[in-house]
Amino acid sequence: MPVHLADHIAVNRHLPGIFILNPNLSIGENIEELIIIALASEDDEYQDRIVYLPLP
């Protein structure tokens, strides 16, 4: 994914962000992480980034 994201950005394109779920968390825990992120973040805070869950 990082290579594809870099290529995408290199041609002046953007995406809202990529979240990589943690296989060590349950589905519910991953969903909770995503809900927290959605409620506590600015609209473009994760633009053009790859983020691994859980957040530190």
Which 3 state secondary structure label does DSSP give 44? coil
pTM comes to: 0.78
**Residue range 49-55: mean pLDDT, rounded:** 92
Per residue in 4-50, pLDDT tens? 888 888 899 999 999 999 999 999 999 999 999 999 999 999 999 99
Tell me the domain boundaries of the chain: 2-52
User: Hey, which residues does 39 pair with through a beta bridge?
Assistant: none
Cis previous bond, 54, omega within 30: yes
User: Hey, which residues does 19 pair with through a beta bridge?
Assistant: 51
Q: Determine the straight-line distance between the first and last CA of the chain, rounded to whole angstroms.
A: 21
Count of Cβ atoms closer than 10 Å to residue 26 Cβ:
9
What's residue 6's pLDDT? 86
